[in-house]
Each structure stands twice: as structure tokens, then as C-alpha cells.
Structure 1
């Protein structure tokens, strides 16, 4: 066991709510003692977790909120990534022992497209602050992204906007599976083996075309696919368009590493396939 007993999660939305749920299961099983949730909304309920409405502009508040916390997990979304810096500084001052940056949904190390340089810069920032970190390479959230029209996919309503051929292989992992993996690693791997470690997971390695075909077969629904040429994708990517960034990744650089390196830190992981996770997602 890691020996860590107190955890905080910053961000309780798209992914954070699943990680909170898994940590609370570990708490109910007696493996950990405390789960704190840093949230910007007082309307959310997190069961047996201690919820604190956060003020990221107040170092004193953040340091107080993190007092006694050993592991801080950040699941902040794209527009909130900058909050990781004041969080890290407060965490260092509060005595937090391990920081999990919001590197989920991709493998940013050594990459220079889209959000990757930004995420790499925050890991560098943690080194400057002197705060040990662990990160998780998950690939895109397979149970969610294909139901999000803002990303070009709306399989529930029968449409998909695919960049390039759609044949590029991608490492997709469903959010419930990511949460299980993160909670398992943080509560079972010895604390001495966690700093500066990148844990690679994968629910299923499959192309966008493969997902669409599998979804059509499983549901009997025909998906109307719009194809976007890669020159258009590159042009939109140069403008900072996030949908184009996803199309680029899915076509050219979608896996988080060699297949033999996936899930090796938890051989009994057994994640869902993308289609299984889509059918299980009732949201």
C-alpha cells in the first residue's frame, strides 16, 4: 500500500466526479481516511467527502484548505489549467507530499501540438516549486467525447465529424475506468515509487472509424459521417481550434505509447471497450 491516507481533488466535473467516487469507495473500505473536494460550486454534493468552495486567488485559503492533505489530484479542465500554479504553491506550503497534475486525456511528454506544451509547462512548474508529481496517460475519454457535439461527435443523434481517414489508432479510456486506475495506483503502489512516474493506461486501442462501426452495430443506428480533409484540419489547428486538435490527434498521434506498455502497473485492470462505455453512459 502507498501509505497515503488523505486526499484532495481539485475539480469535480467531467473526470473529477468519478475520481472522487472511487476515492470514497477506498475510504469506505478503510484504506484511506479523508477525501477533500475543492469546488467552485456550493451546489454539488459529494457524499462522505469534505467539500470546500475554493478561492484560487487566495493563497491563504488554499493553504488552509490543503492542510493535512497528502495527495492532491487535479482534474481541472482546459480553461482552468492555470489554477494549478497557485494550487502547487499552496500545496507545497501546506506540506502536500504528491501532486497529480491535470495531464489526463493525453500523453503530453515530448509533444508540441495544442495543449501539450501547456501541460508540460505545468509539470516543469511543479519541479521548480519542489513538489513531487505523478501523472497518468489515459488517452481521450471514450465514454464522453463521442457524445459531445462541440468536439464534432454526436453519436446519440447520429452524426460525426471525422478528420482525415478516421483510421488512426487512438488510446481511449472511459472515465469510470480512469478513476478506478488512479485510485488503485495511489492506494497500492508504494509512495517511494510514485514521484516522477508516468502511469500509462488504455481502455481500448481503436480508430474513430472502428468506434463508429461498432456503435452502429451495437445500436442499429446509422451514423452520418462528415469527412474533414487534413489540410483543413491543419489550418484550423494553426488557429488554435480545439476540435481540430482532437482531429489531428485522432488521425496522427492518438496512442499513449506501445501497446505492451499499457496497463502494466495493474494487470487486473479489465477496462471497458469504447462502445461498452458509450452504452453504459446514460448522461
Structure 2
């Protein structure tokens, strides 16, 4: 049985707001920490929006103490992963019991550079200051598949490389529901200093063309807005890193609790949304 009763979510974006909604549906105390001047968010009536400079550890700590927060969940973007340092400091000052860092993507263990390295460093920092953490790998977001392969209705699936390496994808709704479920039902021993690997569905980039009833277009890069990032992601996926079970050190898939989708078992009976269901294929 969970001992966590009060939650603070930092960031009300793609993953953050759904997590806020999912936690609110569990009838627990939830606050959304928002930077002054941020766009207004629509949240359930039992959620409080608290404006605070999230870069000011002392100020954040005061808000966490005021609301008696047990768990802090960071949902910042990959590009802003390093900004979590001040949140960790605030959590330490406030005596927070658990910190859920902003992972929600491909595995970051073993990385030392770039955005993935920044996420790995946050996990190391949490351990160094003595705050238990739960890291959640989700793979790509199912909803973002068309964005990743530059697909629009009737067009081709753009693939860099062979496109034969399996990758994990999970729907945003399933991610939010999973987070709310485990934090409100499981004991700390199942969550502290754990890495949880989700997988709503699994596919190769080539197979996406079959699912979307179109063809593959081989490209060297993807242009347009976000093209550089999409290109980098596809290169990473080609290496195997798109699987939530990928071990970057061993360059191989993990087994047992390190296998892709092994974390799904913590939500027994849940039906995970498939690519076909998410896109009405």
C-alpha cells in the first residue's frame, strides 16, 4: 500500500498535464508548480496551481513544505533536463520522500553526454544527496509516430537506415495512468531507486509503413522544423536504443526486470494501447 499522499508535478506540458489529471482522479493532493508568466493551464478543481521560480531551490522548497509534498515529479523537456538540479535541491530541503525525474523516453543509463547524459546525471545526483528515485522509460510516444517519420495522411514513412530495429512506443495516456497507479498503490520498496521499463507496443520503422498502409521512403536526413532532432532520434533507434530494454553499455537487450516492457506488470489487468488503436488504423 502506498504511503504517498501529496504530489507536486513540475511542468504542465505533453506528459505533465496528463499526469496531473491522472493523479487528481485518484483523489490525492496534487499541486502543479508553474513558473510565473507561464501559460495558464486548465486542471481539475482539486488541483492547485502554484507559481514559483523553479530555478530557486529555496523558494520551491518552501512551497513543497507548505503543501506537505511526499513526491516530486519533474516533467521538463529533454532539452531542459539539467534544470532539474534545483528541483532536487528543493526536494532535499523539503524532506521529500521520492523524486520521479523527467525520463519518459529511451533509456539513459550509461550515457554521459548530451541530453541523455544530462538525465543520467540527474539520477546520479539524486543518489548522491540521498533522495530515492523512480526512473520510468517509455520509449517513443505513440502519438508522435507521424512526427518522427515525417508522415501525413497519404504520404510516405521516411526512414533513415535499414529501419529493421525494433523500438518501444507507449501512449501518453497509458504513461500518465501508469504513473498515477504505481504512486498511489505500491509500497516504497517497489519504487525507491527503481528503473521501470514500459512498452505499450513494439515495431520497426519499416513495419510502420505496413500499419499506416503506405510505403517507406529511404532518406539520409529529415528536413523542416525539428528535422535535426528527428534525424538524431532515428539514428539512435537504428542502433537499438529505441527499445526500453536497451543496455547502451552492453549494446544489447536486457532480460528479466531489465527487459523492454517489464514494468508493465506493475499495472496488472491494464490493456496497453497499440499503435493501430492510437491511430485508428
State the TM-score, normalizing by the size of structure 1.
Answer: 0.83
Change beyond 3 A, Cα 1:56–1:261: closer
**What is the aligned partner in structure 2 of residue 251 from structure 1?**
238
1:211–1:275 contact (8 Å) kept in structure 2: no
CA contact (8 A) 1:11 1:39 kept: yes
For the pair 1:87 / 2:87, whether they are aligned, the reply is: yes
SS at match of 1:107: coil
**Aligned residues: CA RMSD:** 2.4
Structure 2 distance, partners of 1:228, 1:118, is 29
1:1-283 to structure 2, matched below 5 A, reads 1-27=1-27, 32=28, 34-40=29-35, 41-47=38-44, 48-67=46-65, 68-111=68-111, 114-143=114-143, 145-148=144-147, 151-156=148-153, 158-216=155-213, 222=214, 225-229=216-220, 241-253=228-240, 254-257=242-245, 258-259=259-260, 261-279=262-280
Q: 1:65 to 1:250 in 2, by over 3 A?
A: same
Question: Per-residue displacement from partner, 1:151-200 (whole Å, max 9, x unpaired)?
Answer: 44233463433111222101100100011111111111111331111111
Supply the distance in 2 between the matched residues of 1:83 and 1:112 (Cα, whole angstroms).
16
SS at match of 2:230: helix
**Residues in 1 aligned to 2:105 and 2:99: alpha-carbon distance in whole angstroms:** 17
**Matched residues in 1 for 2:263 and 2:187: separation?**
20
Gapped regions of structure 1 (runs ≥ 5):
217-221
Distance 1:59 1:260, change over 3 A: closer
Q: How many residues align?
A: 259
User: Within 2, Cα distance between the matches of 1:263 and 1:227?
Assistant: 33
Separation in structure 2 between the aligned mates of residue 116 and residue 59 of structure 1, nearest angstrom: 23
Q: Deviations over 1:67-118 (max 9, x none)?
A: 1100011110023222210011011101111000111111111245753222
- 1:278 is displaced (CA, Å) by 2.7
Q: State the alpha-carbon separation in 1 of the partners of residues 279 and 114 from structure 2.
A: 26
TM-aligned CA deviation for residue 213 of structure 1: 1.7
In 2 relative to 1, CA 154–17 (structure 1 residues): closer, same or farther, beyond 3 Å? farther
**Helix, strand or coil at the partner of 1:154:** coil
Q: Residue 278 and residue 249 in structure 1: after superposition, are their counterparts in 2 closer, same or farther (change >3 A)?
A: farther
- 2-structure distance, mates of 1:126, 1:169: 31
Q: Which residue in the other structure is 1:219 paired with?
A: none
Cα deviation code 1:201-251 (max 9, x no counterpart): 1101111222232122xxxxx46x43234xx79xx9xxxx42232102322
- Offset, 1:269: 2.5
SS in 2 for 1:104: coil
* TM-score under structure 2 length normalisation: 0.84
